[in-house]
Amino acid sequence: MKELSFWRDHFPFETQTTSALPPRCDIAIIGAGLTGLSTALHAARSGASVVVLEQERIGWGASTRNAGMALTGLKLSPEQLVKRYGRERARKFYRASLDALAFVQNLIEHENLACDFHRCGDLCVAYRRSHYQGLIASQKFMREEFEHHTELVSAAEMARELGTKVYHGGLIDPLSAGLHPAKLVAGLARCAHEAGVQMLEATPVEECHRAQKGFELKTSHGMLHAKEVVVATNGYTPAALRHLRRRIIPVGSYIIVTVPLGRALAEELLPTNRMVYDTKNFLFYFRRTPDERLLFGGRTSFTPMRDREAANILRADMLSVFPQLHDIEIEYAWHGNVGFTFDQMPHLGEQNGLHYAMGYGGHGVVMSVYFGYWLAQKLLGADTHAFPFFELQMPARFFYRKRPWFLPLAGAYYRVLDRWF
Ligand SMILES: Cc1cc2nc3c(=O)[nH]c(=O)nc-3n(C[C@H](O)[C@H](O)[C@H](O)COP(=O)(O)OP(=O)(O)OC[C@H]3O[C@@H](n4cnc5c(N)ncnc54)[C@H](O)[C@@H]3O)c2cc1C
């Protein structure tokens, strides 16, 4: 079994990077995931000199480790959004998630980012019978409050969607899509390079201080003076950036991928080829890969765990859903950090003079690219009033500075909820 991301192994791309750190630039971006690359591309297209600094390799973080589910909506449900922000603001936030999908699809088509993007729809499946009642209520709510149309699948109809009997019905959102994360990262990095962005790998930013007319960044390759700095480190935000670090909670998510199944077995498991996730707190998510494997992910634990150990748990979980895979080998196992925030909303803005975008909470594949675009607009002085997320403040809590010591407690709480409700 390979302990690395299937996507990266399936599409081992090289990026045009440089090892020479320039002495100064207009915009320095810390982190070369989807957020950083999108911000860089859109800022450089308007003439700014942009340098991206990545501690490992381009796309090393969550951006090449995710499941490639380009989903509608946010971490908070439409009902939760309305309850917290009122109908009008909730509609704007939800609308932005749909706009993000359209924006990314348009970018992919316009820039020839061949990344297997397909609007296959997502399927949220009910883990308990009572959860299906919740899906019925959600469908009605989305239709009446957001004019967003989804399709219910009753337990009796589930065989047309999934080759398993464990779920009690589901809800299809036909707008969601699937894509190949490593191909998307590679395509964005190519465009950024062509737009004049200088990208450095193996260049961690160790310190960042205010200086005359900007900031001084201490990196492993020397010092860089930047007029503006963007922090695009999400679930990998280092302790050195303490004002942001105490606002973002890294939570591990784990994935396994089988050997190729062949078209017939893959179609037996997921006949409609959708992006699937269930209604638990410790949720399972799964999909077919472009070469007809099963990708199966889950949280497994709120405390760090070795990939091999997590793979054993996930394999048992996978067999609980698809017992027909009993003799099928697991070829890949890996994990990555999902960036959560205390209010479960994604955020972008300015903190102590540093610009940032992060906290997508498992909905970052398209949101990160869209947030990068809007952050670039802000840096370029464009009117950003139309984007509702600039109004939100990213909350901190007095009890969290560097180490998310409370995660095991949260994990235990959610396990109890999953067991009984
Ligand atoms: C296992 C997993 C599955 C997921 N599945 C989905 C999914 O199916 N759908 C979905 O919408 N979202 C999903 N997500 C979330 C999604 O992948 C992220 O929201 C998105 O990739 C965030 O991109 P980013 O560029 O903000 O952060 P990242 O891609 O994590 O990039 C941050 C980068 O910052 C770099 N960095 C950190 N510190 C420094 C420093 N000091 N100096 C230089 N560089 C630094 C890191 O090396 C890293 O490369 C998943 C995440 C995980 C982990």
In order, the DSSP letters of 190-227 are: HHHHHTT-EEESS--EEEEEEETTEEEEEETTEEEEEE
Mean pLDDT within 230-241 = 96
pLDDT on residue 177: 98
Q: Which atom of ligand 1 is nearest to the CA of 67?
A: 8
The C-alpha angle 303, 202, 187, rounded to 5 degrees, equals 90
Q: 407: pLDDT confidence band, cut at 50, 70 and 90?
A: confident
d(CA 287, CA 64): 16
The span from the CA of 81 to the CA of 100, in Å, is 17
Q: Using CA atoms, how far apart are residues 61 and 248, in angstroms rounded to an integer?
A: 15
Q: Bridge-partner residues for 225, per DSSP?
A: 24, 216
Statement: residue 281 has pLDDT above 90: no
Any atom of ligand 1 within 6 Å of the Cβ of 71: yes
Q: Is 251 in the pocket of ligand 1 (CB under 6 A)?
A: no
Q: Are 49 and 196 in contact (CB under 8 A)?
A: yes
Q: Which atom of ligand 1 is nearest to the CA of 204?
A: 42
Residue 406, pLDDT above cutoff 90:
no
pLDDT at residue 158, rounded to an integer? 97
Q: Contact at 8 Å (CB) between 263 and 290?
A: no
Percent over 70 (pLDDT), the chain: 100
Q: Output the residue whose Cα is nearest ligand 1's atom 51.
A: 66
Query: Does any ligand 1 atom lie closer than 6 A to the CB of residue 235?
Result: yes
Q: What is the pLDDT of residue 300?
A: 66
Average pLDDT for residues 310-322, to the nearest whole number? 96
Res. 219: pLDDT tops 80: yes
Residue 303 has pLDDT above 80, yes or no: no
Angle at 146 between CA 71 and CA 369, to 5 degrees: 35
Name the token pair of 294: 């099963």
Spacing, Cα 183 to ligand 1 middle (Å)? 15
Domains of the chain, with CATH numbers? Answer: 6-66+183-249+343-411 (3.50.50.60)
Q: Taking residues 386-403, report their average pLDDT.
A: 90
